[in-house]
A = this chain, B = another copy of it.
Amino acid sequence: MSQTISINDSQRLQLKPLEIPTKLLLGPGPSNAHPSVLQAMSTTPLGHLDPDFLGVMDEIKSLLRYVWQTENPLTIAVSGTGSAAMEATIANSVEPGDVVLIGVAGYFGNRLVDMAGRYGADVRTITKPWGQVFSLEELRTAVEIHRPAILSLVHAETSTGARQPLEGVGELCREFGTLLLVDTVTSLGGVPIFLDEWGVDLAYSCSQKGLGCSPGASPFTISPRAWEKLQRRSTKVTNWYLDMNLLNKYWGSERVYHHTAPINLYYGLREALRLVAEEGLANCWQRHQKNVEYLWEGLESLGLSMHVEREYRLPTLTTVRIPEGVDGKAIAKQLLTEHKIEVGGGLGELAGKVWRVGLMGFNSRKESVDRLIEALGQVLPK
């Protein structure tokens, strides 16, 4: 013991136990977790190699395959938030010099550009105004020009509320020997997804939106085609924590220690996925669609309009135009402080122009819409 040094108490805060007011989280995420997810998360931890815990991991793998509609063997939860799962897809697929073509029509397309560049990719982009989507013809033209090793698209742009159609993109990619990497952060659990049918090779998501969990353990999947590319690498993945060669030995049959999993988050994710399986994917998707249409009606009844064309609007996240002369930030603040409802503001091209309203997972309920519309009716200028 180093008894000669005295302890500095200057940062020793004297705090009371946590008291958090309950708020209705209708922003771009996190959403309120399902109460039974929160209960599962408070279960006493197990060891990360305990057979009972390995069973929980296996259940998570199966149920993630179900919600993504894939048979990919390596379908797991990464021990970080959605951004870590995003980085996992890039780190494990990109080798220095690879041409990576990225569709940028919002904040998360730009983030993919940043990440891919860090891993040495020769990044090319196609762009669209924020809130629009790429047609299959536009994608074909870009792939023909750039002949990318990887094409990255955002299925559900959390910054714009637009849904990028993916039908036919997988076939296009196979024609050119290109891997298809897709962001499904704001679609998984709330928007129809058929990864295998669509020929998606790498996808990532988060736990806290459509799945109704709390953030911190994030879905990742890799197809056999992308796995082969990973096996052909001449260099180690420059990210130890997210190296799928190592993670596969933990999540697969070998059960080799890699890191101490966030046990309690996995409990929560298992419960969230169990609830989706109990409800059924089709019902879950329909619930999100029905409630968002009810939201749009309510917003229109207040004289508000949506930023994205109806056909491409997400059922999970709606961008609502801030009316001329209205201070969007002040309204959001009033909703939060007076009504305990969180909505998001715009990012990038849409900063100051839209609010972002999420109806995801447990929060995709008629009551959420009713509370928001009533509160908005009170705080919007007459």
Q: A229 interface residue, CB < 8 Å from B?
A: no
Known contacts: A14-B277, A50-B336, A87-B240. The answer to whether A30 contacts B263 by CB under 8 A is: yes
Bound-state Cα–Cα, A239 to B242, Å: 10
Contact, CB under 8 Å: B240 / A118: yes
Q: Which of A15-23, A169-177, A294-302, A320-328 lines the interface with chain B?
A: A15-23
Contact mask for chain A residues 4-37; partner B; CB cutoff 8 A; 1 contact, 0 none? 0101111111110110111101010111110010
Bound-state Cα–Cα, A46 to B214, Å: 10
Contact, CB under 8 Å: A192 / B1: yes
Contact, CB under 8 Å: A13 / B63: yes
Contact, CB under 8 Å: B84 / A241: yes
CB contacts (< 8 Å) of A231 on chain B: these are none
CB contacts (< 8 Å) of A71 on chain B: these are 10-11
Nearest CB in chain B to that of A207: its residue = B262
Instruction: Choose among B31, B167, B262, B289 the residue that contacts A215 (Cβ–Cβ < 8 A).
Output: B262
CB contacts (< 8 Å) of A214 on chain B: these are 45, 262-264
Known contacts: A18-B56, A46-B23. The answer to whether A260 contacts B83 by CB under 8 A is: yes
Known contacts: A5-B194, A87-B241, A117-B236. The answer to whether A260 contacts B13 by CB under 8 A is: no
Q: A41 interface residue, CB < 8 Å from B?
A: yes
Bound-state Cα–Cα, A263 to B216, Å: 8
A97–chain B nearest beta-carbon distance, Å: 15
Q: A281 interface residue, CB < 8 Å from B?
A: yes
A359–chain B nearest beta-carbon distance, Å: 15
Bound-state Cα–Cα, A2 to B14, Å: 55
Q: How many chain A residues touch the partner (CB < 8 A)?
A: 100
A195–chain B nearest beta-carbon distance, Å: 11
Chain A interface, DSSP helix/strand/loop, else mixed = loop
Candidate in A27, A167, A263, A289 with the most chain B CB atoms within 10 angstroms: A263
Instruction: Choose among B9, B81, B194, B270 the residue that contacts A66 (Cβ–Cβ < 8 A).
Output: B9
Nearest CB in chain B to that of A9: its residue = B66
A18-B43, A214-B263 given; name 4 further pairs at CB < 8 Å: A14-B278, A29-B260, A33-B44, A262-B262
A300–chain B nearest beta-carbon distance, Å: 21
Bound-state Cα–Cα, A258 to B215, Å: 14
Bound-state Cα–Cα, A50 to B65, Å: 33
CB contacts (< 8 Å) of A56 on chain B: these are 18
Bound-state Cα–Cα, A86 to B107, Å: 29
